[in-house]
Every structure is written in structure tokens, then in C-alpha cells.
Amino acid sequence: MNRLAFPFFVALYFIVSLSVSAQESNVPKLIWKVNRINIGTVLEEQGLQQAEFEFSHTQDSLFFIQDVWLECGCATVEYTRDTLQVGESGKIIVSFDPTSAAGFFSKMIVVKGNLSGVQDSLFLEGISIPYPSDLQRAYPISRGSLGFRLKKVNMGDVFDNEPKIKYVEFFNKGTEILDKGAFRSTTPPYLQISQIQQFVRPQERGLLMIRYDGKLKNDLGFFEDLIPANWENVEGSEIELEIVADLFEYFAPIPKDDLNQVPQLVIAQKEIDLREISSKAVVRRTVTLSNQGRQTLEIRKVQGNCDCLVLEAPKEKLEPGESMELSLTLDPIGRKGIDQRNIYIFSNDPVNPVQLIVLKSRIE
């Protein structure tokens, strides 16, 4: 062999060996069903909450868990202590004490195995609600025989790629046991409401789970639903829940190189000051909307925050480089003083899918 070639082959063999070794080290030795579990909202009086993490062993070598480290003394753990062969499964059961936290929590669990490189991190998350010292003060809003913290259930931002779930506390101020199996609610298809605990006794707290499916709602913007509910075996248990939500279309992250290829909505004037206007005269303005992207721009919806606004868009689609005039009509009758109206424009611009136009005035 050529003397000059030999060092080259040795170096090449070394590089290939490192590459193979790196690839092997990147193969996970444990496959977790999930490594993050959210147990939702938990009331302090519900006691210990359990979460179960399952895994499969993927290596030819025998495996067993050497140790499990917890972030705090607020949890205890049980785990599979058997020695596992390839393809066999095990589990880790974490018991969390909700009295140790208030509000959102995220606890890390570190799992160390006998094989080199096995040290995985798991996360247990949720919201813990302490028991209040004054129940009547903590739940001042009365709905039938129930007490709530707030008048409305605010779901916040709801996207159409996955349903949004929220837990709502209530305090049973009545004299009857509230049975989960007797709970009934009249909801549209995109809303589901259920009771969490099997029984909520008098002078106890309970949780309602509300599931809002933005895809089934198939709309955008702000919405409010008034939902009747009751426990069919409890006389006079009828309540109404006011549920509000802001619905948005979900857009996946855009690679930097593709930013110039997508639709781009540009609004010529995002703040319009009408200055002093009369409450007796209707005011009209226009705003230019343009598509400065390289794909067709679709105007999904134009929504104002007041019935006093009439909004008219002559087109629902703008081709690249095209513009149109959005017509704004404000009827200030019955209003006086400093006024501000918000106009929301929903489009398929993935970078700025919702844009705001502010209409200011002083009504005399």
C-alpha cells in the first residue's frame, strides 16, 4: 500500500467509527409513551394525585432502573424493579401531594438506569388550588345553589388544531349531593361540560371540565355562549354558565427561507383618529388592504367590537400585489365622550393572521 495513502485510510476509519458510535449513542435506550403528563386542575382536598409513565426497553442488554430522583419532597415514586429484556415494558408511578403547591406547577423526575447513557427526565404538571379560609368570600358568584369565583368562564385563546380544556371550580352551597352521573348540560357540538368528581357533597368544592373544540366551531373571533345545566335528581339545581372564547386559526411555524413566499397582509392605516364628531351623524372611512406576499391572500373574517360598526370588504381574496378598500361605517348615536372601536382582520397571512385597526373619536 502507498505510504501516503495509509494515514488517509486510518483517518477515514477513525471518522467513520466516530460517526457510527455517535449514531448508536443517539438511539434511545428507553422509549417513553409520554415524558410529560399534565394532571389538570387539582383541589387540595382531593389528596394525593397519581400519574403513570410507561416505557419500553429497546436494547439487547439487560436493563433495570437504578434510581429515580425527585425534584422535591412533594411527591413519592414507585417503579418497576424487575430486570427487563429487549422489548419488555415497565412503568413509573408518581404520587403528587397538591398541598405542597399553589397555582401552576411543573415537577421534574429523573430516571437513571444501569446502562450507560440512560438518564431520562420526566415532567409532571398541573394546577393546584389551595383550600380557602373563607369559602363564601372565595366563591361570591351565585348560580343556583353553587358558588363560583367569576361571573364568566374565560377559555382564552382557542385554536382550531386541538380542543382547549379548562377546569372550573365551584362550591356546593346547597343541601344535596351532586352526582356526576346526574349532571346534564345542553351544549352545541363544539362544547362539552362534565363533572370531575363522582360526588360533591354539601359544603364541598367540585370541578367542572369544559372542552371547547375550535375546529367544530369553525369560526373566528370573539364568542360568548350561555349554557344551561342541571343535576336531574336535584330539584332547583338549574344553572347557566357564560362561556367566552377568542377563536383563532392555527398556523405552523414558517421556515425563514419561505417567509417571502407566503401571503402578506399590509394595512395602510392601523389607527384612525376621527377627532371630534357628532353623536347625530354617521361617519364613514376607508382603509386600504394590500397583499404584498407571493401567494393569494384570503380575508377570513372582519369583526368589530361593537354593533355600532358596519364593515364591508368588497373581496375575500387578493392576488399578489392587489389592493382593496375596506369600508368602515360608525354610527355614534347614544354615545358620548372619548370612544375607541377595535376592528379585527383575520387572514391566511401565517406571520400576522390577526391584525387590528383602532378607530378613535371624541363624541359630542
What is the rounded distance in angstroms from the CA atom of residue 71 to the CA atom of residue 122? Answer: 11
Helix, strand, coil share of the chain (percent; to 5): 10, 50, 35
What is the rounded distance in angstroms from the CA atom of residue 91 to the CA atom of residue 41? Answer: 23
Fold agreement between 135-248 and 256-363: yes
Percent of the chain whose predicted confidence (pLDDT) is above 90: 74
Grid look-up 382582520 returns 345
Identify the band that residue 19 occupies on the pLDDT scale cut at 50, 70 and 90. very low
Question: Do the Cβ atoms of 297 and 347 come closer than 8 Å?
Answer: yes
Region of 47 please: left (phi>0), alpha (psi -120 to 50) or beta.
Answer: left
Task: Please check the confidence at residue 8 and state whether its pLDDT lies above 60.
Answer: no
Q: Where would I find the H helices in the chain?
A: 5-26, 135-138, 214-217
Where along the chain do its domains lie? Answer: 30-129, 135-248, 256-363
Task: Please check the confidence at residue 80 and state whether its pLDDT lies above 50.
Answer: yes
Grid look-up 426497553 returns 57
The pLDDT value recorded for residue 334 is 87
SS3 133: coil
Percent of the chain whose predicted confidence (pLDDT) is above 70: 92
The pLDDT value recorded for residue 22 is 45
Task: Please check the confidence at residue 111 and state whether its pLDDT lies above 70.
Answer: yes
Task: Please check the confidence at residue 179 and state whether its pLDDT lies above 50.
Answer: yes
Mean pLDDT within 184-205: 95
For the beta carbon of residue 137, count every other beta carbon within 10 angstroms: 9
Q: Is the model more confident about 118 or about 233?
A: 233
Span 198-217, pLDDT tens digits: 999 999 999 999 999 999 99
Identify the band that residue 28 occupies on the pLDDT scale cut at 50, 70 and 90. low
Identify the band that residue 340 occupies on the pLDDT scale cut at 50, 70 and 90. very high
Task: Please check the confidence at residue 17 and state whether its pLDDT lies above 70.
Answer: no
Task: At 106, list the grid cell.
Answer: 411543573
For the beta carbon of residue 207, count every other beta carbon within 10 angstroms: 19
Which backbone phi and psi does 256 adopt, to 5 degrees? -55, -40
The pLDDT value recorded for residue 148 is 96
Question: What is 135-248's CATH number, 3.40.50.300, 3.40.50.970, 2.60.40.10, 2.60.40.420?
Answer: 2.60.40.10
Question: Do the Cβ atoms of 330 and 286 come closer than 8 Å?
Answer: no
User: Using CB atoms within 10 A of its CB, is residue 12 exposed (0-12), middle (13-18) or buried (19+)?
Assistant: exposed
Task: Please check the confidence at residue 117 and state whether its pLDDT lies above 60.
Answer: yes
The pLDDT value recorded for residue 10 is 42
The pLDDT value recorded for residue 27 is 52
The pLDDT value recorded for residue 118 is 76
- The dihedral over CA atoms of 332, 336, 339, 343, expressed in degrees to the nearest 10, equals -20
The pLDDT value recorded for residue 248 is 97
Task: At 296, list the grid cell.
Answer: 393569494
Span 272-309, pLDDT tens digits: 999 999 999 999 999 999 999 999 999 999 999 999 99
Mean pLDDT within 77-87: 91
Which positions ≥6 away from 16 have C-beta within 8 Å?
Answer: none
CA 200 vs. chain centroid, Å, equals: 27
Grid look-up 447513557 returns 117
Task: Please give the CATH number for the structural domain made up of 30-129.
Answer: 2.60.40.10
Name the fold adopted by 256-363.
Immunoglobulin-like (2.60.40)
Question: Do the Cβ atoms of 302 and 326 come closer than 8 Å?
Answer: yes
Instruction: Kindly write down the DSSP assignment for every residue of 59-122, as one continuous string.
Output: SSS-B-EEEEEESSTTEEEEE--S-B-TT-EEEEEEEE-GGG--EEEEEEEEEEESSTT-EEEE
* pTM of the full structure: 0.78
Which of 255, 266, 265, 170 is CA-nearest to residue 209?
A: 170
Task: Please check the confidence at residue 146 and state whether its pLDDT lies above 60.
Answer: yes
Span 46-62, pLDDT tens digits: 889 999 999 998 888 89
Average pLDDT, the chain: 90
Which of 352, 353, 330 is CA-nearest to residue 341?
A: 330
How far apart, in Å, do the first and last CA atoms of the chain sit?
Answer: 98
Q: What is the b/e burial string over 102-133, where b = at least 16 CB atoms within 10 angstroms of the residue's CB? A: eeebebebebebebeebebebbbebbbbeeee
